[in-house]
Structure 1
Amino acid sequence: MPDGARHLMGLAAAHDARNGGKTFDLSEFPEVVHVYAQQTAASEDIKQLAALARELDVLAVRGLGLIGLKDSLLRSSLARPAEQQGPRVRILLLDPESLAGGVTLSETRLRELSGVCDLQVYRYDMRPTWRVIRVDDTMFVSTFDADWEGHESATYKVMEAPQGPLYRGFQRMFEAMLKEGSRVV
């Protein structure tokens, strides 16, 4: 993996720049168009895109703050005027065997949305690493770590670009998890 890509993912460079290695140049990765310190800094950008979205994919642990609760980040974007069709929404939540209370509450709240948009909710059972919000051709990606939750992590705004590995990689991961997941709504 090139050092620039390693740096974007929070990994150490393969070659130390002090030893003549190539330095990181963001222009080599035109997919990453903005980096926010936390998800809250990206929230207005996410809401604006979601309000007009045709498709919305979410990969989260519980999803309560993203879409499950009435005052969550994305929920208000799904209710649209009767003449405007709601988006197709696909949500991946951690299997509640791993984190029972929050996931089942989120599933209950998400069932309420099935009347206002084409909603699909799935459970996945792998250890959460990434948090992904895809709004049409824009993704907001953050990570889970032992020291922080996904919303506390730096959030990367990633746009689909020709030959761009990040957008396609995250989209492929989401589709594979969806295929392996169990549909609950």
Structure 2
Amino acid sequence: MSAPASGATVEIPAWAWERTEIHEALRERDAGAILRFAQQYGGASQSRIATATGLLQGRVNEIVRGRRSVVRIDVFERIALGLGMPDAARMLMGLAPLRFSGHGPRDLLEHPQVAAIARTKPEAGSEITSLAATAETVDVIGVRALGMLALGDSLLRGPLIREGRDSIAHVRVLLLHPDSPAVARIAEEIGETPRFLAASLRFSEDLLGEMAELGTVRLEVYRYRTPPVWRMIRLDATVFASVIGCRSDARTSLVYRLTPTPPGCLSYGFDRLFAATLGDAERAI
């Protein structure tokens, strides 16, 4: 379906699309509430909405008054185009985002679930430590997690045990099993001997055990045996992920920040990854 003619789109401020009531209306596909929203925040008359959406003014009036419901997807598409609906709002209503229409190389990077891309691990680190200071649930998939949690100056340890936290965080950590066949593969990728990597995995468990004894976090540590692919930190609903084994400089490899923006497929995928890895793991602490 083509977009409205130039100048026909109802102008609605970007901040208005973030309001809770319009999110509810979009999820429920409540066309009447959506059009009333356009009247309130876009200052649009029913005639103006009719022109923008290509609907008859009489039909717009019936929809606004709740006398007619909308069920056809092509009508919702007309409404979305006529109101200049942003992609996040379109997806809440079950419509495809417009930005993917060209299938360009940057489309995935602009996907609303990929809220930001921290180009280096140090850049991502500042945001991770900030979120960790208030996170109630923390899930980690690592190899040995020395720099993520185990060491005293690691990324998460300080903010998770700081004084003045409102609550004790529940932390679950998945580490590579020191006896896993994957140890040899990972050791080769990072330039270590399998024996040294296995020993450092046990050392990490010892450090995490000491952390658990402090009682400053509710800590659970598990061992998995499958070859790891993603390094992941989930702070409440926000996920930070990077590839394990990428041969680029560890300080310059990309860290992806994901939030559960509808339809939430990317975040759901990492939720399943953690659950599946945890389900096959054995508890160490």
Tell me if TM exceeds 0.5: yes
Alignment of 1:25-104 (within 5 A): 25-26=107-108, 29-81=111-163, 84-97=166-179, 98=183, 99-104=197-202
Aligned-partner SS, 2:161: coil
Which structure shows the bigger proportion of residues in strand conformation?
Answer: 1
Give the aligned partner of residue 104 of structure 2: 23
Aligned pair 1:174/2:256, yes or no? no
Asked if 2 retains the 8 angstrom alpha-carbon contact of 1:142 and 1:156, the reply is yes
Aligned pair 1:162/2:244, yes or no? no
The count of residues paired between Structure 1 and Structure 2 equals: 165
Amino acid across the alignment from 1:101: A
Identity of aligned residues (%): 39
Query: Unaligned stretches of 5+ in structure 2?
Result: 1-101, 184-196
Amino acid across the alignment from 1:36: A
Determine which of 210, 216, 227 is the counterpart of 1:127: 227
- Measured on the aligned residues, the alpha-carbon RMSD in Å equals 2.0
Q: Relative to structure 2, which stretch is displaced further, 143-152 or 90-99?
A: 143-152
Asked if 1 retains the 8 angstrom alpha-carbon contact of 2:237 and 2:260, the reply is yes
Q: Partners in 2 of 1:154 and 1:69 — Cα distance?
A: 23
Q: Relative to structure 2, which stretch is displaced further, 44-53 or 137-146?
A: 137-146
Aligned-partner SS, 2:241: strand
Q: Relative to structure 2, which stretch is displaced further, 52-61 or 112-121?
A: 112-121
Q: Partners in 1 of 2:252 and 2:167 — Cα distance?
A: 33
TM-score normalised by length of structure 2: 0.54
Shift of 1:28: 6.5
Q: Highest CA radius of gyration, 1 or 2? A: 2
Q: Partners in 1 of 2:110 and 2:249 — Cα distance?
A: 29
Give the aligned partner of residue 15 of structure 1: none
Amino acid across the alignment from 1:58: V
Which structure is richer in relative contact order (CA contacts within 8 A, separation 6 or more)? 1
Which structure shows the bigger proportion of residues in helix conformation?
Answer: 2
Shift of 1:170: 0.6
